[in-house]
A and B are shown apart, each in its own frame.
Chain A
Amino acid sequence: MINPEKLEAILSHYQGGSADLIPVLQDIQDENNYLPKDQLKVVAHKLQVPLTQVYSVATFFKMFSLEPKGRHQIRVCLGTACHLRGGQRLVEMVSRRLGVDIGQTTPDLQFSLETVGCLGSCAQAPLLMVDDQYFGRMSMDKVPKILKSYKNQD
C-alpha cells in the first residue's frame, strides 16, 4: 500500500519548507485516501519540519485522516439550509443503511461517511455528495438507490 516512489514523485514537486506541508499532505491524502504514518515521517524529514508539526497539522484539519478511508466518500451536508431541511435525518438514515457511525468507514472499505459544514449548494438542500458527484433535493427514498449504484459499480 505504501509506495515510496509515489511519495518521491509527490515530494519532487516541492522545494521543501513549512509552506509546502499542507499541499504535500493534501497530495498524499488524495493519493492514498488517508495519511500513512510512515509517509508522514518521510515528509517531516524531507521538508525539514518537526514531526510534531506534521502531526498537529494532520490532526487539526478535517480533510486529513490518519485512518484509511473508503473507496467512496459520502459527505452529507449539515449546513444551515440542509439542517433545516432534514439533513440530520438524512445522515442518520445513510448511517443506518451502511451500518457505520459518522466519521467511520465500512469494514469492506467501500464507503466512508462524513458530515460537512456546507457544500455550497444551499438552494438544493438537503444535499449529499458521493466523491465529486452532487445529489440535491435528497429525500429518504433516494438513498438506497444511490448506495446500490455505487455498490454495483465496484
Chain B
Amino acid sequence: MPKLETVQQLEEYRRRLLTHPDAQALQILVCGGPGCLPMGSEEVAAAFRQELKERGPAVKVLLKESGCQGWCSKAVKVMIRPQEITYQQVTPQDVPEIVAETLIQGKILDRLCYRDPADQTAKAHKSEIPFYQGQQPLVLGKMDLIDPTSLDDYLAAGGYRALQQVLEQMSPEAVIQAVGRSGLRGRGGGGFPTGRKWRLCREASGEVKYLICNGDEGDPGAFMDRAVMEGNPHAVLEGMIIGGYAIGAHQSFIYVRHEYPLAVKRLSLAIDQARQCGLLGDNILGSGFAFEVKISKGAGAFVCGEETALIRSVEGDIGEPVPRPPYPAQHGLWGKPTVINNVETWANLPEIINRGADWFAAMGTEKSKGTKVFSLVGAVNHTGLVEVPMGTTLRQIVFDLGGGIRDGGEFKAVQTGGPSGGCIPKEYLDLPVDYDSLQSVGSIMGSGGMIVMDQSSCMVDVARYFMSFLHDESCGKCTPCREGTKQILEILTEITQGRGSEEHPALMEELCATMRSASLCGLGQSAVNPVLSTLKYFREEYEAHIQQKRCPALVCRSLLKYTIDPETCTGCLACVRECPAEAIRGEAGEPQELDQELCVKCGQCYEICKFKAVKVES
C-alpha cells in the first residue's frame, strides 16, 4: 500500500484499482459474519480455495470472505458477483458443483436457492428475494461486496471519498451543519441528535478533545455493531476521522467489548492499513489534520455501554456511571470535551457526506431520519440483520422480511431495545418503528435488537430473565437500581415458582416508578421496561401464575407436571440417563415411569425424547 499524501494521489490510486483487470473478474464471496462463522463458513471458504487451486489459472475467479450478508438463518451464504447470485445453506460438499456449474458454466443450482413459498420456484438473484427487497442497505451496503481485511476493496467501492470531500471542500462547521441537517440520531439507543452533540463539543472550551466509538454492544440479541466492526471496519474509521475533523479532536478510542475478539482483530488491521497509507496520522491527505485511533477493550460489563461508565473504564477505573451534568460533550474523558457515538452512528457518516444530508433526511419519519439496522432473531423464519428506513412497521419487518413465525407458530410479542426495552404485543404490529413510537408503547429503540416471541414464550419468565440479567450487570452504585433489581427479581422468581401473591403486581409497579425516576443512569431507569410492558400487555399471564399457579406457555418449571405416555414410550432409556434426580424408572424396552415426588422438573427428559413420549402440562 503506497503512502497517499494528497487527495489527488488517493483518487489516482482508486482509479488504478477500478481499471485493474481484476475489478471485472468473477467473484465468489463466502459470508464470514457472526451467523455463518459458527456454521462452518471457514470450511466452505477453504473448500473453494482448494477447488479453485486444483482447477488452475484457467478458471479466473476471485475468492473473498465477506462480512455479514444478512440472512443468518440460511448460513452459510455465498454471493456470486457480478450477477448477484445468492446461494444459501452451502456446505463444503456443494463447492465442486458450484465451481463447475455456476462459476464455469453459468448455470444456477436451484437446490441452493431461495424458494418462493407460493410456487416453489427458485430465486437465484438477490433482487428477486423478499428478504432483501424490503431493505435499504446503507450501513450494511458494502457487506456482501468487499473483503473487510482489504483496504483496496473499500477504496474501490468508493471508500474514503467522503473523507476526501470533507478535507478538501468542507469546513468543520459545514460538516456539523450537514450532520445536523441530516437528522441523524445516536444509533446506540439514546437517540440524541448527533449534530447537536458534536456542536456542544466543538463549542466547549479547551484545546484537547476526544472522540470515542462505543462498540460495547452489550444487549443480548444484538449483533449489528459486531457485524459492522468485523465486516466493514474502514467505514467506522472513516466516520470517526470525519467526526474528529468536525469537532477538533485528534485522538480517539474504539471501545470494543471483550466478547468480540474478531472485531478487535479486524479493526486493528484496518487501523494499521489506514496508518500505513496516510489516512490516519499526521497531515492526512495533505490537509494538515492529524488523527489517531486506539482500541480499548472492554472487560465484561454491560453497564460500560453507558457513556460515563465507558469513560471511567477507559480511564482505568470501575464502570460506575457519574451523574450528569456535566455531559461528556463538555467534560468527558480525563475531563476533556468528548463525543461518544455508537458504531452504527459512525458508519452512517460516509454515506451522509457522499450522498448529502438531504438524501438521508428524505428517508424515515419526521423525527427519526435515515435507516436502522435491526438484528431480527427469535421465532421468525428468517433471522439475521436487516436494514430498513425508519418508519417501517413491525409487521413489515416480522412478516415480510422475517417470513412470519416459524414452525406454524403464532406471534405473541416482539421485544425491542434489548434488556432495557419492552415487549410489544400484536395489537401494535402496525406501529412504525422509530424512536418516539417505540417509546410511546413502553419500549425503546435501543441498539436495534428485535426479538420475536411466539406462544412458547412465557412473558413472566421473559420479564424475570431480563431482570436477572440487569441485576447481574448493575454496577451497584445507586440504591434504586441495586436494590430495586434485586427485589423485583425476587418477586418475579416467587411468581414463576408458584409463590406469587395478589399484591405483587402493584408492588412491582410502585418500585418501578422509583427506579425509573430516581436511578442514576439509563440501566436502572430502563430496567423497568420489560416488567412494566409485560404487566401492561400480558396481565392475564401474571394472573394465571399468581392465582392459579399455572404457566400457560409451559415454561415455568415449578408449575409444570411431566408425565411419560406409556403408549409412545419405547423404553430406550435416553431420559433415564439424563435425569438428574433419578426420577425415571423401568425396564429396558418397557414404558418408563416418572416419579412425581422426585421430579425436579428440569425438562431434560422432554428435550431428549426422540419419540415425544414425555408430556408436559400446567
Contacts and interface: CB of A to CB of B under 8 A. Distances in A.
* Chains A and B directly touch (beta carbon < 8 Å): yes
Interface of A: 17-23, 25-26, 49, 53, 56-57, 60-64, 78-84, 86, 89, 92-93, 96, 116-125, 127, 132, 134-137, 139-141
A57 B220 contact: no
Q: On chain B, which size bracket covers the interface? A: 35 or more
A86 B451 CA distance: 15
Interface of B: 34-35, 37-39, 72-73, 75, 217-223, 226, 258-261, 296-302, 313-319, 375, 377-379, 383-384, 415, 418-419, 449, 451, 453, 456-457, 465-466, 469, 473, 475, 578, 580, 602-604, 607-608
A92 B602 contact: yes
A132 to B, nearest CB: 6
A12 B465 CA distance: 44
Contacts of B260: 120
Contacts of B419: 80
Contacts of B449: 80
Contacts of A118: 218-223, 259
Contact of B451 (A25, A78, A81): A81
B377 A60 contact: no
A62 B377 contact: no
A57 B318 contact: yes
Contacts of B297: 22-23, 26
Given A89-B607, A122-B375, A18 B39 contact: no
B383 A123 contact: yes
A116 B377 CA distance: 18
A125 to B, nearest CB: 7
Contact of A81 (B226, B317, B378): B378
7 contacts: A80-B415, A117-B469, A120-B226, A121-B35, A122-B221, A123-B377, A132-B261
Contact of B314 (A19, A25, A26, A49): A19
A120 B217 contact: yes
Contacts of A136: 38-39
Nearest to B257: A120
B301 A84 contact: no
Contacts of B456: 84
A132 B457 CA distance: 30
B383 A140 contact: no
Contacts of A84: 378-379, 451, 453, 456-457
A16 to B, nearest CB: 11
Given A117-B473, A141-B608, A19 B465 contact: no
A62 B37 CA distance: 25
A81 B377 contact: yes
